[in-house]
Chains A and B, each alone.
Chain A
Amino acid sequence: MMQTELPALFARMTGDEKHEWAAASTLDVLWVLYDRVLNVAPDRVADPDRDRFLLSKGHGPMAYYAVLAAKGFLDPSTLDTWTSWDSPLGQHPDRLLVPGVEISSGSLGHGLPLAVGTALGLRIQGSPARTFVLVGDGELDEGSNHEAIALAGRFGIGTLTAVVIDNSSASHGWPGGIESRFTVEGWDALVVDGRDHDALYEAFTAPHDMPRVVVAQIRKDV
């Protein structure tokens, strides 16, 4: 399935218009990750050496579900059931209900600490797998993220990449730039256009020894 089919998949899920912008902001990042970067596949969801993608910002998962459907993790017809009693698809994802979903999320500020633990666990076990986690710029208000940012830097977890969707949602902004909150803890940081697929791909795949943050800027007016 091609990226051009995502809008139609996306449109099959209605009723969470409040988070449509949140979902739309993540669509390009998710597509690039699942189409070109992540070493994952529907028939390898339990492979211990698969790459891990953790959607920390569980709000507005329509884009996530659309990409998972496009990549064969979900039957597209499942999208029509979303949020119903029998559906595996809720307005926050549940890892027990959807193959390929690595964490159940929704409450903000949980994915990054979980990602640090996941990356550490894989390193301890000698796995080559990489860990990617997607957070929002508003979500970074949660202090738990900053505990995790500090730890990942001190532990030098080079297999960890945090993607910050910067759609200017943080109540009080990030003076000095979001990336500065990471670099002060030793992270490698890149700021890219969150709609530019080649730039995202480069940022996700260029070698790095320390944990990397990719700040994916999304503007509402373009």
Chain B
Amino acid sequence: MRKEFAKTVIDRMQTDPRVAVVIAAISRDLFPRTDRVVDVGIREQALIGVAGGLALTGLRPVVHTYAPFLVERPFEQIKLDLGHQEVGAVLVSIGASYDDPVWGRTHQAPGDVALIDTLPGWTVHVPGHTDEVGPLVEDALNRDDRVYIRLSLHENSQAYPTGQGFTEVRRGRKGVVLAVGPVLDRVVKAVEQEQADVTVLYASTVRPFDGDGLRRALDETERSDVLLVEPYLEGTSAHVVNEALEEVPHRLRSLGVKRHLELHAYGTAEDHDAAHDLDVVGISTAVRSFFHR
């Protein structure tokens, strides 16, 4: 995904003089050395501050580094140097929640989307396949507002269309499972294993949230039961599901990176998926207990 992101941006820079890249040492070899590629070194507060200044002059900054250093460390800069100045930027992270857990907790950012979600006016994309990255980046470059794109090393087996609301992957009668980004394949496997009669929706864009799409899917089911499966902090989108269904009596269960676990463990991403019940076994258990009542 990272290479596809860089390729898309570099191609666009050939024709769009507004586009500038701001990086903080990471991924410097992916971008050409031009005056519109600014490497601030390991200075993440300046990463966002400089991007804000570039945007104030009319440029379209693309800001990229590892997720915790893009969103968590300079969060006040995101809030003030972009949001409060009312300027736009495209923030693109790698690392996701725990793509490389051998580096430990310092390089994990399961709370990134939840943090961005505290600020108004952000579009958030969570692509689940490399082929979804290009269109999402292109769309972000076409705009002037604030966009966060969360890249991951983990992908689904196939891409789905972007920018058209939720995609129905499977139709059933007992409720809806909403799978965000790279968790889709695991969700589909879990639903098949459990022979659950549920609709599976896929989302590569979570903000704005396709509430109409969720309501339409639930119109076709016998129950308004929603299992939300997100690859980041559990319940990050629970409030927007509840807002979308405020006129509909419903049940909601959220799966994601558990809020109560401060893991002091390394291993693989799959180990961490298991610890957070985001592997097929954990999702299957949730599907069974939530829908088979």
Q: Which residues of A contact B (CB under 8 A)?
A: 48, 52, 95-96, 102-104, 107, 109-110, 112-125, 127, 143-144, 147-148, 150-151
CA distance in complex: A144, B78 (Å): 13
Across the interface, A103 reaches (CB within 8 A) one of B17, B40, B56, B58, namely B56
User: Which stretch (B47-55, B179-187, B225-233, B249-257) binds chain A?
Assistant: B47-55
Known: A114-B49, A114-B85, A120-B50. 20 other contacts (CB 8 A): A103-B85, A104-B85, A107-B76, A107-B80, A110-B77, A110-B80, A113-B50, A113-B53, A113-B77, A116-B46, A116-B53, A118-B54, A120-B54, A124-B36, A125-B58, A144-B45, A148-B50, A150-B41, A151-B41, A151-B43
Known: A121-B20, A121-B58, A125-B57. A110 touches B35 (CB 8 A): no
Chain A contact surface mostly: helix
Please report which residues of chain B, range 8-50, place their CB below 8 angstroms from some CB of chain A when the two chains form the complex: 17, 20, 35-36, 38, 40-41, 43, 45-46, 48-50
CA distance in complex: A112, B38 (Å): 16
CA distance in complex: A104, B86 (Å): 9
Count of A-B contacts with CB under 8 A?
A: 101
Residue of B nearest to A144 (CB): B45
Cβ of B191 < 8 Å from any Cβ of A?
no
User: Are B46's CB and A148's CB within 8 A?
Assistant: yes
Cβ of B81 < 8 Å from any Cβ of A?
yes
User: Are B56's CB and A121's CB within 8 A?
Assistant: yes
Q: Which residues of A contact B57 (CB under 8 A)?
A: 48, 117-118, 121-122, 124-125, 127
By the criterion of a CB under 8 Å from any partner CB, how many residues of chain B are at the interface? 29
Chain B contact surface mostly: helix
Q: Which residues of A contact B40 (CB under 8 A)?
A: 147, 151
CA distance in complex: A127, B56 (Å): 14
Q: Which residues of B contact A121 (CB under 8 A)?
A: 20, 53-59
CA distance in complex: A17, B108 (Å): 45
Q: Which residues of A contact B259 (CB under 8 A)?
A: none
User: Are A150's CB and B54's CB within 8 A?
Assistant: no
User: Are B49's CB and A96's CB within 8 A?
Assistant: no
Cβ of B170 < 8 Å from any Cβ of A?
no
Q: Which residues of A contact B45 (CB under 8 A)?
A: 109, 113, 143-144, 147
Cβ of B84 < 8 Å from any Cβ of A?
yes
Q: Which residues of A contact B38 (CB under 8 A)?
A: 120
